[in-house]
Amino acid sequence: MSKPTIRQLEYLIALQETKSFSKAAALSNVTQSTLSAGILDLEESLQQRLVNRGRKNITLTSFGEETCESAQKIMEEIDHLSYRAQAIKSPLCGPLRLGVIPTIAPYFLPRLMPRLKEQYPALELHLFEDISENLFEKLRRNDIDIALMAFPYKTHGMTQCPLFKEQFFLAMPKSLTTKENFAKLDDLDQQDLLLLEDGHCLRDHAVEACNLQIPSTRKAYSATSLQTLVQMVNNGLGVTLLPEMAVQTDHLPENIKILPFKKPQPTREIGLVWRKNSPKSGEFEMLSTVMTG
Amino acid sequence: MSKPTIRQLEYLIALQETKSFSKAAALSNVTQSTLSAGILDLEESLQQRLVNRGRKNITLTSFGEETCESAQKIMEEIDHLSYRAQAIKSPLCGPLRLGVIPTIAPYFLPRLMPRLKEQYPALELHLFEDISENLFEKLRRNDIDIALMAFPYKTHGMTQCPLFKEQFFLAMPKSLTTKENFAKLDDLDQQDLLLLEDGHCLRDHAVEACNLQIPSTRKAYSATSLQTLVQMVNNGLGVTLLPEMAVQTDHLPENIKILPFKKPQPTREIGLVWRKNSPKSGEFEMLSTVMTG
DNA sequence: TATTTACAATCGGAAAAATCAATACTAATT
DNA sequence: AATTAGTATTGATTTTTCCGATTGTAAATA
């Protein structure tokens, strides 16, 4: 009544993948006899058949499938173990798939990349620009390792790591001059507020921050990027909210005037999101300090 | 650069528990030299120190702790594996800790136990009666294996297995005679509705079902068990809602009249809850069929 | 029907590993 | 300096793993 072996569990996984003892053996880099014996041992130690040995093709029993799932979990955990051991010695090294929302990417990445290159020259950053919803889905499916996005956003089963808050500014055409040097939230719904199209969290956060009811008729004015939005404001079509980083970085057109808000200032929070069980969690913490620093 | 061994991970866990190579060795039923070599091998294969070897006492490095957590997950998964292999051959056998809420236990268990004894004579049922909140906590802490309770109730990270719905009946003193043979939900807030004390989900479900605002002043009337509540109704102190099983089973006092509700009938759902990753999930499914059948 | 094919199980021996018992080593304590 | 309390090391022994060759068996083919 001994315990299953990691090797035996590997054999079982290979067997499930190949549905053949000989192929599974090749996959596991052992001879067929070894794998056969290994599986028999496993069945012996569990006192349960794992494989239906048909003449033409073999299948796993339902308990075999169940066992295989556990085996995969175990192998995954072991891989994580080894990965982390490696990552301690040379963290943030090799490929890393980073998702970024469109209202952050063009402003934050140019600042980030040089610093990252300097501190972690071996890091291969693969970028994916998409809206929060899609990034979240990509995270869940392990299509990306980590996402840079704006909160509040519910990310179940993930770790959220807030980096910093930034305030929104009012961008208006110079023609709409006021003597005021500050905008007030109350003023907003009286004017033509231009927003990004649906799906951009910036839109939601702006709406939320300003406590506005946006009638769907306004959708006619929605734009697909902040740059476009700025152009629309420049042409006198209305006003909009711009996040701090867009104001600092963008080469803004002539005809645009930026006003800060009086308190309460509308803000959004920028942060990282990753799967709670990611083996790279430790490295992501380090990444976050590069991003805040 | 080989892979960690299950045995090595066991050694590490023993080491964390005992903080001593010799004691850990004894715990693992090997000699001190074996365990020492095992840990060294593990450190070698991960290329990382796992143990701070102080003269007086040893500690795990932070990576050692991290590795130990993974090791525990792995061991747990392996235990599950072995347990399930065993459980297939003789399911629902041995000790099982079942939590039951007080508004179900006295009515349902007398019906359940004989059938359970018949179908699974080797099952050792240990019963824990408590309110939903505490049962949930006991589940989380693995103080019980499974709970029988009433829905809706949010049980995060658990599997809910609904068994059946039961309707509520109105229990009133015979003195309050109406010509009606049915009660209506609208009638309720005009009368003295007696409820269980706070914490009982029956109270919440009744309130919810009847769409009532219960002023806290009514608390004066609250009782600690359905039996007590029935006595209060019997003494003409008011009316109450009783679940179907209480009506069917209880030897109700003379002075009480039971009325069914007109549609929409208020109901509650009875079901099982267990940890999603419980190795006994398969057996619990079987248990549920005994309970519905 | 006889033969071939395809595949898993089994066997015996060799290589690798895990383990033990004894011993060496090291720092703190007496 | 001797003792103590702990871990590391060593060499022999047992156990496990693995290979290569062989056997066994049902299906496919001739």
Rounded (5°) CA angle B83-B85-B89: 110
Would the CB atoms of B89 and A48 count as touching at under 8 Å? Answer: yes
Q: Which residues pair with B269 in a beta bridge?
A: B151, B165
Would the CB atoms of A47 and B3 count as touching at under 8 Å? Answer: no
> Is residue A217 very low, low, confident or very high in pLDDT (cuts 50, 70, 90)?
very low
Would the CB atoms of A70 and B88 count as touching at under 8 Å? Answer: no
Q: Give yes or no for B75 touching A (CB within 8 A).
A: no
pLDDT at A218 over 90: no
pLDDT tens per residue, range A99-124: 999 999 999 999 999 999 999 999 99
pLDDT tens per residue, range B249-288: 767 888 888 989 887 888 999 999 999 999 999 999 999 9
Closest chain A residue to the Cα of B44, Cα to Cα: A85
> Is residue B217 very low, low, confident or very high in pLDDT (cuts 50, 70, 90)?
very low
- Give yes or no for a contact between A229 and A103, defined as CB atoms under 8 angstroms apart: no
**Mean pLDDT, all residues of chain A:** 89
Averaged pLDDT for residues A162-191: 78
Nucleotides of D under 7 A from a protein CB: 6-11, 16-22, 26-28
Averaged pLDDT for residues A190-209: 79
Residue B213: per-residue pLDDT: 66
pLDDT at A222 over 70: no
Q: What is the DSSP string of B30-59?
A: S-HHHHHHHHHHHHHHHTS--EEE-SS-EE
pLDDT tens per residue, range B115-141: 999 999 999 999 999 999 999 999 999
Q: Give yes or no for A88 touching B (CB within 8 A).
A: yes
Cα gap A221→A217, rounded to integer Å: 9
Residues whose CB is less than 8 angstroms from the CB of residue B211 and which lie 6 or more positions away in sequence, other chains included: B185
Residue A64: per-residue pLDDT: 92
Please name each of the domains of chain B with its CATH number.
6-89 (1.10.10.10), 94-164+269-292 (3.40.190.10), 166-268 (3.40.190.10)
Residue A214: per-residue pLDDT: 60
Averaged pLDDT for residues B171-179: 78
* Shortest CA gap A151–chain B (Å): 23
Would you state the structure tokens that stand for residue B198, as one six-digit string? 């706070």
**Strand C–CB B9 distance below 7 A:** no
Cα gap B293→B288, rounded to integer Å: 8
Residue A35: per-residue pLDDT: 95
Mutate to test the interface with B, among A77, A80, A154, A278 (most CBs of B within 10 A): A77
Averaged pLDDT for residues B214-227: 65
Q: Which nucleotide is nearest to B30 (CA to C1')?
A: C19
Residue A212: per-residue pLDDT: 67
* Shortest CA gap B174–chain A (Å): 53
Residue A187: per-residue pLDDT: 66
> Is residue B97 very low, low, confident or very high in pLDDT (cuts 50, 70, 90)?
very high
Q: What is the pTM of this model?
A: 0.81
Residues whose CB is less than 8 angstroms from the CB of residue A289 and which lie 6 or more positions away in sequence, other chains included: none
**Strand D–CB B36 distance below 7 A:** yes
**Mean pLDDT, all residues of chain B:** 89
Residues whose CB is less than 8 angstroms from the CB of residue A133 and which lie 6 or more positions away in sequence, other chains included: A199
Mutate to test the interface with B, among A81, A82, A86 (most CBs of B within 10 A): A81
**Strand C–CB B2 distance below 7 A:** yes
**Strand D–CB A41 distance below 7 A:** yes
